Amino acid sequence: MKLTVVIPVYNEIQTIEEIIRRVQAVEIEKEIILVDDCSTDGSREYLRTLNVPNIRVLFHEKNQGKGAALQTGFEHVTGDVVVIQDADLEYDPEEYPLLLNPILAGKADVVYGSRFLTGAERRVLFFWHSLGNKFLTFLSNMITDLNLTDMETCYKMFRAEILKEMKIEQKRFGFEPEFTVKIAKKRYRIYEVGISYHGRDYSEGKKIGWRDGVAVLWHLLKYRFFV
């Protein structure tokens, strides 16, 4: 079993070297696909220096968004299982085995790493941001008839075959609701596991804002009822 780790990168020069080190330290056969979304802070130049057998680096010539970076990465997957990894150190690669276990056991096709279904450590940050996440998950559950606790989580791990059965369209943070609605409609077996979370605040580079949250509602409705 080979794991493909897809890492979208946009202006993460402060953390990119460390996240690669942490992913590499996980004792699972893996390939790492990094997609730079036209960074301007030196991330792009750093990635050009990498020459490691199990790392592939792809570049966008203009900034398109996280979803677009994921689409580019998905096109080059050769592993059996795929996991999405942000480059900002909010999520811990040491927890890959937690997400992988239900898939290896033959119980799950997709596993979400929940920041709320957990007894693990979690940085205490914004009340309204966390409430917004829970509200969007609530709306997602109403529309999909799932009972997720964290639809917006970065950690989504799934069998690579799913990519052959699904076309992702959204180029920004709309990827999360689009993916969730589509796997629900196809009735894939979905599990959640609790994960730790080391969130950043906006001064540390957090990028998602309230406008992205508002857009999620439209994407949920679009992919549930109109696509």
Provide the residue ranges of all domains of the chain, joining segments of one domain with +. 3-226
Q: What is the mean pLDDT of residues 171-185?
A: 94
Q: What integer best gives the mean pLDDT of the chain?
A: 91
pLDDT at 121 over 80: no
- Is the model's pLDDT at 206 over the cut of 80? no
Question: From the CB of residue 171, how many other CB atoms can be counted at a distance below 10 Å?
Answer: 17
**Other residues' Cβ atoms within 10 Å of the Cβ of residue 125:** 14
Average pLDDT over residues 127-141: 84
> Is pLDDT of 124 > 80?
no
Q: What pLDDT does residue 133 have?
A: 81
Write phi, then psi, for 192 (nearest 5 degrees): -125, 145
Q: What pLDDT score was predicted for residue 138?
A: 94
Model pTM?
A: 0.91
The CATH topology of domain 3-226 is: Spore Coat Polysaccharide Biosynthesis Protein SpsA; Chain A (3.90.550)
pLDDT (0 to 100) of residue 202:
52
CA distances from 185 to 3, 70, 189 (A): 25, 21, 11
Give the pLDDT score at 59: 98
Which pLDDT score is estimated for 91? 97
